[in-house]
Chain A
Amino acid sequence: MRYLIIGATSAIASACSRQWLSDSGRSDAGETDFFLVGRSRERLEQTASDLTGRGARSAEIYTLDVRDIAAHPAMMEAAWEALHTIDLVLIAHGTLPDQRRCEADPRVAMEEFSINGSSVIALLTDIANRMESQGRGVIAVITSVAGDRGRPSNYLYGSAKAAVSTFCEGLRVRLFRSGVHLIDIRPGFVSTPMTAELELPKALVSTPEAVARRISKAIRAKRDVVYAPAFWWLILAVIRSLPRPIFKRLSL
């Protein structure tokens, strides 16, 4: 299997990579290749050594700031040149913006929207075309439960994720005809460096490893949209169904 992972040093992406290696078993792990994209060379190197140490045949690294859209095509050239055909693309990069700062400063808001929203749409545009001409493969995009409904605590982040989810909804239909599958993964609270500063309700927090297991299963089952862990589907179904006159009086 050949994997292109963007945001490869994130906790969820690392957990997914390890999960795929252990899913594949020892003999197939020796035929697993990774192309890891991220911002920090040092972290990419450590992630790559971990994956080869755990049995991957190869793990190439590539540094990229996703906001630099002009730099995307060169990265993809390199990825396809290294891997030839790609079985799975995972887009996992993101930040958790400070909602207050986004409210105070439109430049901050746009910057964060660009990292979590526009950059993903840009990447998907190019990747979709390449996968379409490959005629096979899976694209997995990590969005968020926050995209299901705008809430006062994080509607900037939520709207960027919602944009990606809606984009995926349409793209999935287009790609279906060429045999490429697209899965939209919506994690809830996961204990990662991104959420380290938040006070979260302990019962609702899961681990990157649990989310990775869910993602791996969902990909095999060719699911279209998956909440991780599954109980978030129910929580979001309730939140989505709240009438606006009530919703706006709550502070969710």
Chain B
Amino acid sequence: MTAQLLSWGRYPRHTQSPAEVHWRSEIGPCLKRFAEERSTTLAYGNGRSYGDSCLASSDKVISTGSLDRVLAADWERGRLVVEAGITLSDILQLAVPHGWFLPVTPGTKFVTVGGAIANDVHGKNHHRQGTFGSHVERFGLYRSDDGRIECSATENVELFSASIGGLGLTGIIDWAEIHLTRIQSSDVMGITQRFSSLNEFMALSAELDSLHEFSVSWIDCAAAGKKAGRGVYMAGDFAEEGPLQVNASRPIGVPLTPPVSLVNSLSLRTFNEFYFRRQPRTRTTRRLHFDPFFYPLDGVMNWNRIYGRAGFQQYQCVVPQEVAADALGSLLGAISAAGQGSFLAVLKCFGDKPSPGLLSFPRPGVTLALDFPNRPNLEEKLFRRLDTIVHEAGGRLYPAKDAHMQGDHFREAYPHWKTLEHLRDPALNSRFWERVTR
């Protein structure tokens, strides 16, 4: 009974056949079976990587979603030892009632801990807390050659840093110990303010980021002319007192994949206009549950299906602070010139806390993330142009979101790729890695 798997963007369409492991003791035998077939493989958690970094080059993955057990929980110190297939959502269910929260969370809670480490994910508090990998005490790695090993800042140090942001290539991460963050309430005091240009965004960010734990902005990239660069800045902190509740509402779902994308230039402009106008004109503070604050899209299961059978591609880059305003202006100009746009254009200033990860994506600067419905000429018409701007600005793209980046750009932007290739478990390989290292 094998469901066929894709990545979150449902592109590129290489369906993956999963071999399921239900116990950590099954990983070794499973790797052995692949070795006997002379096939490589890759761990597949909850399928939230967008492009081809979670697709095995053999199209045969090891599905780790059933490795979702808690091994130990210390609610005094906020330490959690878990199997790597557990989702952040599961962790929140357990931790929030005890007054603990994830130290770093991406925009969806449906990623696994293994995936969060392998992609060294970041969140709205990057400017203060850095990446997820900075809050991992240690983890277990199962390698086809060395078997089970433990990695931390003091043990197997090389593999520790290569595995954080290592795209799952250094071995199967089968458990991890993570640090949690104290909260006094599950509510967030959120601040919202519109901005009408990129310069205003940069100024808001400079003024408010340092005062708040969380910050992120939405930018209307369908807007042109006088409206270009407009958006909404959001910041927040956990409330100092209040209930400790996990949202129990069941998400609604997209039951099927429409034949064509429901996201087109008309629906997009309408949505963006509507969304922008709904936001308060002046700086407004309101109290809200952490769920809509951190995970607005998790309320709709399988929202990726609205892009239709062709899927979508996300474009996420980071450009250095010094050149950010110019580079972002050029990027948004190129997007609107190509007549493309994105529902979900997200902008954030990264901080300078270094990650232990060798191939970690964030660096000091500004990151921009956009979703595009997939089209046959999307790469030629738009992405090449954007890539050049990012490259010339000295920026880079996020492998976890990527399905197109060129090998030479990758190798230049991530000079440690050779170390990762050297430490890669020979039994593991991904379509992404094959593509960018060839």
List chain A positions with a Cβ less than 8 A from chain B.
11, 22, 26, 42-43, 46-47, 49-50, 52-55, 191, 193, 195-200, 202, 205
Contact = CB atoms under 8 A, between A and B. Distances in A.
16 contacts: A22-B93, A26-B97, A42-B25, A46-B24, A49-B69, A50-B69, A50-B71, A53-B69, A53-B73, A54-B70, A54-B73, A193-B20, A196-B20, A198-B1, A202-B3, A205-B1
Contacts of A53: 69-73, 80, 82, 94
A220 to B, nearest CB: 17
Interface of B: prevailing SS? mixed
Nearest to B23: A43
Interface residues of B, number: 18
B22 A193 contact: yes
Contact of B1 (A47, A49, A50, A200): A200
B402 to A, nearest CB: 30
B174 to A, nearest CB: 11
Interface string B233-275: 0000000000000000000000000000000000000000000
B97 A49 contact: no
Given A53-B94, A198-B1, A202-B3, A46 B23 contact: yes
Q: Give the one of A22, A43, A49 with max B CB within 10 A.
A: A49
Contacts of B24: 46
Contacts of A198: 1
A52 B69 CA distance: 10
Interface string B1-39: 101000000000000000010111100000000000000
A193 B71 CA distance: 21
Given A54-B94, A55-B94, A193-B20, A46 B1 contact: no
Contact of A196 (B1, B25, B72): B1
Contact of A11 (B22, B71, B82, B93): B22
Q: Considering the complex of A and B, which 5 residue pairs feature the smallest CB-CB distances, nearest first?
A: A53-B70, A50-B69, A53-B73, A200-B1, A26-B97
B16 to A, nearest CB: 16
A53 B69 CA distance: 8
Contact of A199 (B1, B20, B80, B97): B1
B32 to A, nearest CB: 17
A134 B10 CA distance: 56
Contact of B69 (A47, A191, A193): A47
A200 B25 CA distance: 26
Nearest to B70: A53
A26 B69 CA distance: 18
A21 to B, nearest CB: 10
A196 B93 CA distance: 28
A52 B75 CA distance: 12
Contact of A46 (B20, B69, B80, B94): B69
Given A198-B1, A202-B3, 9 more contacts: A11-B22, A42-B23, A46-B23, A49-B70, A53-B70, A55-B94, A191-B1, A193-B20, A195-B1
Interface string B300-320: 000000000000000000000
Q: Give the one of A11, A55, A198 with max B CB within 10 A.
A: A55
A43 B93 CA distance: 24
A52 B1 CA distance: 31
Contacts of A199: 1
B154 to A, nearest CB: 24
Interface string B52-66: 000000000000001
A232 B97 CA distance: 37
B70 A50 contact: yes
Nearest to A22: B93
A205 B22 CA distance: 18
A217 to B, nearest CB: 15
Contacts of B93: 22
Contacts of A202: 3
B278 to A, nearest CB: 35
Nearest to B73: A53
A121 to B, nearest CB: 28
A199 B4 CA distance: 13
A191 B3 CA distance: 10
Nearest to A49: B71
Interface string B65-105: 01001111100000010100000000001100100000000
Nearest to B21: A193
A118 B80 CA distance: 42
A199 B24 CA distance: 25
Contacts of B71: 46, 49-50, 53
Contacts of B70: 49-50, 53-54
Q: Give the one of B70, B80, B94 with max A CB within 10 A.
A: B70
A193 B70 CA distance: 20
A53 B178 CA distance: 14
